Structure 1
Amino acid sequence: MTRTVQQLFDLSGQTALVTGGSRGLGLQMAQALGEAGARLLLVARKSDELEAAAQQLKGQGIEAQWIVADCAKQADLERLGAEALQRLGAVDVLVNNAGAAWGAPAEEHPIEAWDKVMNLNVRGYFLLSQYMAKHCMIGRRRGSIINLASIAGLGGNPRGMHTIAYNTSKGAVLNFTRALAAEWGPHGIRVNAICPGFFPSRMTRGTLEALGEERLAAHAPLGRLGDDEDLKGLTLLLASAAGKHITGQWLAVDGGVSAVVGG
């Protein structure tokens, strides 16, 4: 029998691992998955922020655990993968969200900063996805991987922004998503990407200060920046059975910025 919309979006009995899940967009996505019934495992580098986020979610009736890990380090990712499967039994939804940015003109960009951004934003996504596929998802013939890209990966920057490594890494995430979806589709694993526009956060603070929040909002056809609930609907669609025939895709959540010609 065809399922109802409520049944398709229901994640009861499922588990979700969210990197960079202690604040910002990661916490917003974790909250969406938890509200739909998933058990959560949050990952970040700072225990105090993780504990606060988990307590916030528990206060809303969401089951949430946490693990400290640096998603740029292979040893941490392997430890994270093993401990996640030990605690949860399996991971149904993996959200690769942990990320870094660096602002500097391309001709002056430090190679160490380039490597830092690439290691976290691209290599870390691959290593954790690979671990979960090998040790969990392929054997179960199911799983949803959601990669956080950015509209910065769709083209160049507005004048005054200097984030060459970040843009490059997010462009790589988009093709990583497509390639992985094509390869792992036969295993029942779906891989998709979300491209947020400008959301106020710790990572975007410098950009907002440099370009002006009002200016950035005015550039969007909807006339505003993203807020604390704008990623929730898409996250749930891509994670749940409601999106079971969607893989290898990306969608911008940017108020229409990427639709503007020359934008």
Structure 2
Amino acid sequence: MTTKQLFDLRGKTAMVTGGGSGLGRVMALVLAEAGANVVVCSRRVEVCEEVVKEIEALGSQGLALSLDVTNPESVVQCLDKALSHFGKIEILINASGTVFEAPATEMSLEQWQSMLNTNVTGTFLMCQAVGKHMIENEYGKIINISSSIGFKGVDPEAVDSVGYTTSKGAVMTLTKDLAVKWGRHGVFVNSIAPGVFTTGMNNPEIPGTLVNKAGAFIATQVPVRRLGTDNDLAGAVLYFASSASDYCTGQILVLDGGLGAK
């Protein structure tokens, strides 16, 4: 197999949760550019439809579906529609996520539960449903999106959200455990842990977002002295989604500009 063939996704079908915006949209387009059909799903189906237009402009097929990852019935219905349309799902990216900032002494139970439900339970429910399908077909690539701040405590000046850091740490452990359990079935489970990227939640141009609020602090801490961009994510996504990673499972790839090395 040539190097180009290792990264070729033509004939594959991917499902991307949270694919209508932010990093989810970026990853959906990366897969489409590599030749994959892409199911784009989130609570807001209208934004998913816009991404599908971009996917089709790249020459791949797309499908926009409504999905609430915290609702088991919604997960099953979304998967059934995707399978009815494309027949098979070989790649799953769990990019749905939410974050609320508040000091640990003030974070409400509702905020805490919302982050755990979406970021952890939602990821599990998608892995469970799509994983069954992949096990039956003896092949699959699952990419869970965690975060570099899920490894350890974080200065409140950067991100003050104990619920978010806790949830992302849980996603990493979920990834490793499923990798051990499902490797024998040909299902590979890995995680990408981004640092601070310029997305809707982290945009220095938008007042009130995390980066706008703490941009100066974060910029002085990242060794490469910049935030992550779309191009910084593309290679990692393509590697984990393709045959290039057929001997790699249970791994967390950190994309943080070197911040974790300090």
TM-score range, shorter chain: over 0.9
Matched, 1:142 2:139: yes
Give the distance between the partners of 1:247 and 1:170, measured in 2 at CA. 18
Once the two structures are TM-superposed, the CA of residue 128 in structure 1 deviates from its matched residue by 1.2
Q: Percent identity?
A: 39
For residues 34-71 of structure 1, give each alpha carbon's deviation from its aligned partner in whole angstroms, at most 9, with x where no partner exists. Answer: 11111000011112211111112222223211101111
Counterpart secondary structure, 1:191: strand
Equivalent in the alignment of 1:58: 56
TM-score by length of 1: 0.94
1:197 shift after superposition: 0.5
Give structure 1 stretches of 5+ with no counterpart: none
Question: Does residue 207 of the first structure (1) align with residue 205 of the second (2)?
Answer: no
Using the alignment, how far apart are the partners of 1:217 and 1:9 within structure 2? Answer: 33
Partner of 2:206: none
Partner of 2:18: 20
**How far apart are 1:202 and its partner, in Å?**
1.8
2:220 alignment partner in structure 1: 218
Read off the aligned partner of 1:19 and give its amino acid letter. T
Q: What are the superposed Cα offsets for residues 203-226 of structure 1, whole Å, 9 maximum, x if unpaired?
A: 2342112212x4323311111101
Number of residues paired by the alignment? 256
Distance, in Å, in 2 between the alignment partners of 1:69 and 1:16 is 15
What pairs with 1:1-263 in structure 2 (closer than 5 Å)?
Answer: 3-134=1-132, 136-160=133-157, 161-205=159-203, 206-212=209-215, 214-260=216-262
Task: Tell me how far apart the structure 2 counterparts of residues 119 and 84 of structure 1 sit (CA, whole Å).
Answer: 23
Contact 2:32–2:58, Cα closer than 8 Å, also in 1: no
Question: Are the aligned partners of 2:21 and 2:200 in contact in 1 as well (CA < 8 Å)?
Answer: no
Give SS of 1:78's match: helix
Note the alpha carbon deviations across 1:137-179, whole angstroms, 9 max, x for none.
1111100000000011011112323111000000000000000
Alignment RMSD (CA, Å): 1.1
Q: Which runs of 5+ in 2 are unaligned?
A: 204-208
Q: What TM-score comes out, normalization by structure 2 length?
A: 0.95
TM-aligned CA deviation for residue 115 of structure 1: 0.9
**Structure 1 residue 229 displacement after superposition:** 1.6
For the 8 Å contact 2:14–2:38, the answer to whether it is kept is yes
Cα distance in 2 for residues equivalent to 1:16 and 1:211? 35
1:58-94, CA deviations, whole angstroms, 9 ceiling, x for partnerless residues?
2222321110111122221111121111111110000
Counterpart CA distance in 2 for 1:159 and 1:48 is: 35
Structure 2: distance between partners of 1:137 and 1:78: 14
